[in-house]
């Protein structure tokens, strides 16, 4: 009988402990999920003259502590040739943001998408510690270039 009374006394304290642990775990999960995997800053003019060279600058960074292998490239709704089609593969870490540049010549108004894919590739990041997010591995930002 005494053992049963002891268990009933411990029960409220045990429940309080479990509740506190559950609340702390939820806070930790919220802080992890609020980290941004990829932050993209696309800089380019909104207006250009036909056959004029335009520079596109894409800054990429992450809040994750792990590094990841990324492939950055541009896409457009019209055909653009030359360096526009270059793809950059690099290692992205929280302490090492990346910046990529493209020079392009457009003859018509275009919608340009800067795309970043997180890929699995060896020998890009140091010591092969690159991670790939579970939820999504493609990020993009759109920008319209008006050609007059």
| Co-location of 30 and 62 in the same domain | no
DSSP 36-50: -S-EEEEE--SEE-T
pTM over 0.75: no
Average pLDDT over residues 18-23: 54
Report the pLDDT averaged over residues 21-41: 65
Q: Residue 127: what pLDDT?
A: 72
Together in a domain, 62 and 119: yes
Instruction: Note whether 29 and 50 are same-domain residues.
Output: no
Query: What are the two backbone dihedrals, phi and then psi, of residue 146, each rounded to the nearest 5 degrees?
Result: -90, 120
CA 31 – CA 131 distance, rounded (Å): 19
Least confident range from 28-42, 81-95, 111-125: namely 28-42
Are 45 and 28 in the same domain? no
Same domain, 50 and 73: yes
Number of domains in the chain: 2
Domain that holds residue 7: 1-34
Q: Which residues make Cβ contacts (< 8 Å) with residue 83, sequence separation at least 6?
A: 102, 103, 104
| CA torsion through residues 56, 112, 42, 121, sign | negative
Tell whether 18 and 69 lie within a shared domain: no
Residues 30 and 65 in one domain: no
> Does pLDDT of 28 surpass 50?
no
pLDDT of residue 14: 57
Query: What tokens does 19 get?
Result: 């509740």
Residues 14 and 69 in one domain: no
């Amino acid at each position: 009988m005494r053992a049963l009374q002891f268990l009933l006394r411990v029960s409220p304290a045990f429940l309080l402990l479990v509740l506190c642990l559950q609340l702390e775990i939820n806070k930790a999960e919220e802080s992890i999920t609020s980290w941004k995997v990829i932050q993209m800053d696309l800089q380019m003019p909104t207006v250009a003259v036909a056959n004029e060279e335009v520079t596109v600058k894409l800054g990429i960074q992450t809040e994750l502590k792990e590094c990841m292998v990324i492939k950055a490239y541009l896409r457009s709704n019209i055909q653009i040739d030359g360096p526009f089609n270059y793809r950059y593969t690099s290692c992205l870490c929280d302490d090492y943001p990346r910046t990529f540049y493209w020079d392009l010549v457009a003859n018509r108004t275009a919608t340009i998408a800067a795309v970043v894919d997180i890929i699995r590739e060896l020998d890009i990041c140091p010591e092969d510690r690159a991670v790939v997010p579970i939820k999504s591995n493609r990020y993009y930002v759109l920008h319209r270039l008006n050609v007059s």
